[in-house]
Amino acid sequence: MSTRAIRHRHHLAHVPGNARVTLRVGGEDKLNVHLSTQNVSGTGGQFAGPLGIDASNVSITCNYIGGGFGSKFAADEWGVACAQLAKKAGKPVRLMLDRATELKIGGTRPSGFAEVTIAADAEGNITVWDSHHWGTSGIAGSTISLGQLPYCFDGIPNRNRKATGISTNTGPNRAWRAPPHPQLCAVTDTVIDDLAAKMGANSYDIFMKNLDKTPKPDVYAEEMKIGAKLIDWKAKWHAHGKGGGKSVKRGLGMALHRWGGRAGPRPAPSRCIPTGRSKPSWAARTWAPAPAP
């Protein structure tokens, strides 16, 4: 049994709508930066170099990241320009990009398109994956790498993949959330769900049947069992198109995810102050429990 489908995730502009950077100068060679960023620990040097000051004299503060947080890892050209203005004026400077500039150079979540053919045997074991995927990531013209599809199901025995990058005169691609996992998941798992529908099978059963093709089948199996129980999958699942209503249908679908992040040891520098006190410095971030759009 086989099915063919075209899947797509359009590009999205971040346009966070909050101050990108606020800076004030504390003397000739000190810079205090209130920066909307994920990269608190890594942006000091990006300001220090262009200003010709030591990175240890740059203080980065980020209490709240605000909108578009996934895109904020660098000082960027506008941050450096803001720092130069603050140094020249000797006064605090706040900078925001207007909407037009955000759309042109602020970067976007890249698009992801794919034409996929997938096949399974009579028992529901997926045996074939054939895909051509393409997308845009600004002037670089790259797209999702070949090795990342099919997502999570790395063990499908017969795979053929082709990728085409499209160069566009726009800002570079920037992280939205978990790049490029939302695109990969949307392409892979919706097609598997379609295959289950064509076979007249419950998509939960087809996913469970093929967990041996994932890197951690035991973990996924336990997660699926817990999730199915919590949402009462058996009672609420129905075949495609059977969700009631005329123009709007409701139903359940399956998807698997993974991410490479993990805990690990990190140095925490401490500065000794002449009064005898010490001032430790480190950065931490927490995420809201929201799904990747």
More confident residue, 220 or 103: 220
pLDDT number for residue 129: 94
For the stretch 124-158, pLDDT in tens is: 999 999 999 888 877 777 777 778 889 899 999 99
Mean pLDDT calculated for residue range 273-277: 81
Query: Mean pLDDT throughout 251-261?
Result: 83
Question: Percent of the chain, pLDDT > 70?
Answer: 83
**Residue 247 pLDDT level (bands cut at 50, 70, 90):** confident
Domain annotation for the chain: domains and CATH numbers: 2-13+108-236 (3.30.365.10), 21-95 (3.30.365.10)
pLDDT of 191 above 70: yes
| 70 pLDDT more than 70 | no
Q: Which residue has the higher pLDDT, 75 or 69?
A: 75
Mean pLDDT, residues 93-104 taken together = 81
The pTM assigned to this predicted structure is 0.75
| pLDDT (mean) for 72-97 | 84
- For the chain, the first-to-last Cα distance in angstroms comes to 31
The pLDDT score that the predictor gives to residue 289 is 42
**Band of pLDDT at residue 263, cut at 50, 70 and 90:** low
Return mean pLDDT, the chain. 81
| pLDDT above 80 for 76 | yes
* Residues of the chain above pLDDT 90, percent: 26
Nearest alpha-carbon partner for 202 in 193, 213, 210: 193
pLDDT confidence tier of residue 288, bands split at 50, 70 and 90? very low
Are the CB atoms for 125 and 210 separated by under 8 Å?
yes
Among 143-147, 152-156, 183-187, 271-275, the range with the most confident prediction by mean pLDDT is 152-156
